[in-house]
A and B are shown apart, each in its own frame.
Chain A
Amino acid sequence: MPASPSPSLETRPAGAFSADAAGMMLTLTVAGQLCGVQVLSVRDVLGVQVITRIPLAPREVAGSLNLRGRIVTAVDLRSRLGLSPREAGKGAMSVVVEVGGELYSLLADQVGEVLSLDAGERSPNPPTLDVSWREFSLGVHRQGDRLLVLLDVERLLELGA
């Protein structure tokens, strides 16, 4: 998929930030599963990037990349979620999030759009949810016939040490 940062990020109406923002989710796809991260923690969405491998790093760490002079550590969501690796030749999109003052890039297969989700409609993890997802899920939203898993970003980045 070509680099097409979700346009709705840019066209977000000013002022819609306060109350609604907390319910705004950026959707992304990992191994066919639709998931979402809170827009508030997202700093950037990038197309396929040059990523420097980091030897001895945890398996889930894909490497580091340069985002306008800041070093961003990339975490491969497929690897983190214990899923099969991406097909060779298929690049990953970078969703750059800020956690604890540090920038991390979550590598996803595709990045979708920004949705406004009502926290009231969120349901707990269904028992059918794959066990590899359950650990990092804050809950699920029903999107038509699809299920959106809300990702726990901080949990995803509890790596190393």
Chain B
Amino acid sequence: MDDLLADFLTETNEGLASLDAALLQLERNPANSAVLSEVFRTVHTIKGTCGFLGLPRLEGVAHAAENVLGLWRDGTLPVTRGGVTLILSAADRIKQIVAGLEAMGSEPAGDDAPLKAALDAAAAGEAPPKAAVQAEARAPVAMEALIAAEAPAAAPPDAAPEISAGGVNAPQTIRVAVDVLEDLMVLVSELVLTRNQLLQLARSEENAAFAVPLQRLSQITSDLQDGVMKTRMQPIGNAWAKLPRLVRDLSNDLGKRIELDMRGADTELDRQVMELIKDPLTHMVRNSADHGLETPEQRRAGGKSETGRILLNAFHEGGHIVLEIGDDGRGLNTERIKAKVVAQGLATEAELATMSDREIHRFIFRAGFSTAAEVTSVSGRGVGMDVVKTNIERIGGIVDLRSREHRGTTFTIKIPLTLAIAAALIVEAGGERFAIPQAGVLELVRVGSGDGPKVELIKEAPVLRLRDQLLPLIPLKRLLRLETEAEKPDAESFVVVTQLGSQLFGIVVDRVFDTEEIVVKPVAPILRHITIFSGNTILGDGSVIMILDPSGIARATGLGVETAADNGAMQAQSSRHLGRHTSLLLFRAGEGAPKAVPLSLVARLENLEAARIERAGDSLVVQYRGSLMPLVPLHGLMALPEAGSQAVLVFGDGVRAMGLMVDEILDVVDASLDMDTAGVRPGFLGSCVVAGKVTEILDTAFWLKRGQADWFEPATAGGGRPSVLIVEDSGFFRNLIVPSVIAAGFDVTTVVNGREALRLRDAGERFDVIVSDINMPELDGFGLARAVREGGIWADLPMIALSGRSEPRDVERGRAAGFSDYIAKFDREALLTSLQQCLQPALVR
């Protein structure tokens, strides 16, 4: 049975189930037009669908019944007992045919002529009033006779369905009211919370008798949670169902030829999320058709095919679903946006000049921004992209766009799979704890203590210089009015670097605790006006805690530049482009262009006294921090200074160090590395323009090998420190883990995802142990473990999984993939212990 027919049967059975009751209600109260409309609609739907599916018997009966119902509805014919009986028998006949259809996949044979004739007679009965009266009086008898007479004729085809009713072809799906699922979800959420509380209690109790059953309970709860989540999942295609029709109508209205390509329609997401993105999605498709695509003439003139294309694509990525809405139309007109930005005073010409096209395009997400030259009937209904953006951000999603002139525009939406349970970072400010949804958190920066980064004030506004970008800061304490009198200005605090769309800002908190899976609950109505909170939740320890809404915070402080037009001094700073740049150390060495090296690679800058530099055979060395450090002149024939000092860039990885001799250190600048590799010479990766000058970028590896030929050989080869490969995409966790692992006596190499790690393997790099995150782009931890175990030089290496989730189920999955151990991300102690344990067998050998 094909899907269409199966759906039809499910729906029809549902309609028929309520039809009897509705008809009986109608009989009792013929004036109830609501019930009458419902009955009419049901029968009408059946008729319409079976006409489409090619089911002539059903269609005939439904059509005849609908005629009568139509006259009742219009009031031309009174609702009579006899009439209701007649409709009921029509409903019975429909049921018979449907049952046959279910059993055999096609309509059973049978003769409906007498029934149809009776219905037609009832419909025609309105013409002579006398006949109608008679019909009313006689109808029940007549119908009974009719049914009796027909029964034998109908019997043979009916026999089969009766036997097989509830048999092999019984529907495999049941319809469940959404409320029931919602209630289940709420209950499961509560269960998860209770489970978390129990686990917390059990942790403090050694060898508790309930530890084992609790493990089991925990696992069952997780499985149950997954199961219930699945019931709420629906294919995204359901939200797209109306789009083909919409596009067809639009193409007629606009005189454009449009082809709609939908991919990944079976990608599933939570129905609550789906409801919330349906409208933004429709709006964007409408926009693409109206603004994005050109007319056939324009397309032909531009050398494109006349038919424009709108592509909808959905796929899963980590815990998110990614939706792309793209067209191959004219693309955004950057000049027009610029003109409008300036006209509306959102930015100055000078500011625009420093922005990339992409940053300029993002202005369309600002309130009241429409680039359509004229408002058409299709778009321009006062619903702009700003509303789309707000709606998507409200559910923790992000939206971005890519556009190229004459090539088209693609919007990308990334939203969480479900809203009910989210990972959150627990922080403290002013003595109170709060949860910050992890989705928008990029990194954590400790400020205010010692030599580390510090909070600076520009006028009154606090900012943080983070990798030479100015990050606007929002002190949570001040925002929530939790400030106390005696506040030490230099007290240590943390900056939660948060991304909201393309906007970066830092939320300043006093302390950072842990990440926790939280069940988001709406706040009480009397607190809904506080937009800084998106909900509240109960933590594992049973305490109630408010969930902060980053977009609400940004709006409250005037930082939400893309959604709110109200601005302050902060806006100018914050809207500065915060694109990804690299800090480069500029220096001069020999003749020609200045040279540069990424600052992050340089360990220290030293000015060494010339007298300290010694010659050892062919090479230069210096006694440096208790050992001999080789010095390499960057400029081949650099003369040793007789006196004075020598500028040296020190590169080091903990054990070995090497110094690169340069003439002069110039500056540290921020630049994007758009490298030009033309005319590249050994020792350099290429050149790029830095601060207006062509600059050569140093190939660090080349020079390191000059200093020590064995630089890239594993140190363990010489019986030195064991080496660890850390695979982790988050800079924050890398910074958290790496120093402690180095301090524990390991050599550390880091890469950002599984794919990169495998590249090292294929390049023949050797390590003693691998530590890997689970959730990573490109190739995740499970994938990496499987690939490692499949073969190659790393096949027998111990592998430790680091993950935010360390429930038994996850541990199990990790072991199945090939991990030797599974450790919670924040548990540094456990990681170090595990590293030692992993290496022990190797030492014994």
Which of B190, B480, B530 has the most CB atoms of chain A within a 10 A radius of its CB?
B530
User: Does B709 have its Cβ within 8 Å of any Cβ on chain A?
Assistant: no
Cβ of A63 to closest chain B Cβ, rounded Å: 8
Beta-carbon contact of A66 and B544 below 8 Å: yes
Closest Cβ neighbor of A101 among chain B residues:
B525
Which of B194, B432, B527, B532 has the most CB atoms of chain A within a 10 A radius of its CB?
B527
B430, B521, B524, B538: the one contacting A104 at CB < 8 Å is B524
Cβ of A70 to closest chain B Cβ, rounded Å: 8
Within 8 Å CB of B538, what residues of A?
66, 69, 71
Known: A58-B526, A69-B190. A52 touches B545 (CB 8 A): yes
User: Does A85 have its Cβ within 8 Å of any Cβ on chain B?
Assistant: no
Q: Interface of B with A (CB < 8 Å)?
A: 190, 193-194, 430, 432, 480-482, 521, 523-530, 532-533, 536-538, 542-546
Known: A52-B432, A71-B521. A160 touches B527 (CB 8 A): yes
B482, B528, B536: the one contacting A64 at CB < 8 Å is B536
Beta-carbon contact of A55 and B190 below 8 Å: no
What are 11 A-B pairs at a CB distance below 8 A?
Answer: A50-B543, A53-B432, A55-B432, A55-B481, A56-B532, A64-B544, A73-B524, A100-B525, A102-B524, A160-B526, A161-B529
Within 8 Å CB of B530, what residues of A?
54, 56-57
Within 8 Å CB of A52, what residues of B?
432, 543-546
Within 8 Å CB of B190, what residues of A?
69
Closest Cβ neighbor of A56 among chain B residues:
B530
Interface residues of A in 44-69 (CB under 8 A from B): 50, 52-58, 61, 63-66, 69
User: Does A9 have its Cβ within 8 Å of any Cβ on chain B?
Assistant: no
Known: A55-B480, A56-B481, A64-B544. A71 touches B528 (CB 8 A): no
Within 8 Å CB of A69, what residues of B?
190, 193-194, 538
Bound: A100/B482 CA distance, A: 31
Bound: A52/B537 CA distance, A: 11
Known: A50-B543, A52-B543. A57 touches B432 (CB 8 A): no
User: Does A159 have its Cβ within 8 Å of any Cβ on chain B?
Assistant: yes
User: Does A3 have its Cβ within 8 Å of any Cβ on chain B?
Assistant: no
Beta-carbon contact of B544 and A61 below 8 Å: no
Within 8 Å CB of B536, what residues of A?
64, 71
Within 8 Å CB of B524, what residues of A?
64, 71, 73, 102, 104
Beta-carbon contact of A54 and B527 below 8 Å: yes
Q: A56-B480, A56-B532, A57-B527 are in contact. List 14 more A-B contacts (CB 8 A).
A: A50-B543, A52-B543, A52-B544, A55-B481, A55-B546, A56-B481, A56-B530, A58-B526, A64-B536, A69-B193, A71-B521, A71-B536, A71-B537, A71-B538
Closest Cβ neighbor of B433 among chain A residues:
A52
Within 8 Å CB of A54, what residues of B?
527, 530, 533, 546
User: Does A40 have its Cβ within 8 Å of any Cβ on chain B?
Assistant: no
Beta-carbon contact of A71 and B526 below 8 Å: no
User: Does A115 have its Cβ within 8 Å of any Cβ on chain B?
Assistant: no
Beta-carbon contact of B529 and A160 below 8 Å: yes
Within 8 Å CB of B537, what residues of A?
71
Bound: A56/B429 CA distance, A: 14
Cβ of A11 to closest chain B Cβ, rounded Å: 29
Interface string of A22-56 (1 = CB under 8 A from B): 00000000000000000000000000001011111
User: Does A157 have its Cβ within 8 Å of any Cβ on chain B?
Assistant: yes
Beta-carbon contact of A61 and B432 below 8 Å: no
Bound: A66/B481 CA distance, A: 24
Bound: A73/B522 CA distance, A: 12
Bound: A50/B545 CA distance, A: 12
Within 8 Å CB of A75, what residues of B?
526
B481, B482, B544: the one contacting A71 at CB < 8 Å is B544
Cβ of B199 to closest chain A Cβ, rounded Å: 15
A57, A66, A104, A159: the one contacting B542 at CB < 8 Å is A66
Closest Cβ neighbor of B521 among chain A residues:
A71
Cβ of B568 to closest chain A Cβ, rounded Å: 19
Closest Cβ neighbor of A65 among chain B residues:
B544
A53, A61, A66: the one contacting B526 at CB < 8 Å is A61
Within 8 Å CB of B528, what residues of A?
160-161
Within 8 Å CB of B480, what residues of A?
55-56
Which of A52, A73, A102, A157 has the most CB atoms of chain B within a 10 A radius of its CB?
A52
Cβ of A32 to closest chain B Cβ, rounded Å: 27
Within 8 Å CB of A61, what residues of B?
526-527
Known: A53-B432, A54-B546, A66-B543. A157 touches B526 (CB 8 A): yes
Within 8 Å CB of B482, what residues of A?
55
Cβ of A98 to closest chain B Cβ, rounded Å: 12
Bound: A159/B529 CA distance, A: 10
Bound: A66/B523 CA distance, A: 13
Within 8 Å CB of A102, what residues of B?
524-525
Within 8 Å CB of B194, what residues of A?
69
The 5 A-B residue pairs with the shortest CB-CB distance in the complex, in nearest-first order? A55-B480, A160-B526, A73-B524, A159-B526, A64-B544
Interface string of A92-126 (1 = CB under 8 A from B): 00000000101010000000000000000000000
Bound: A18/B415 CA distance, A: 50
Cβ of A62 to closest chain B Cβ, rounded Å: 12
Bound: A156/B180 CA distance, A: 33
Closest Cβ neighbor of A159 among chain B residues:
B526
Interface string of A137-161 (1 = CB under 8 A from B): 0000000000000000000010111
Bound: A54/B536 CA distance, A: 10
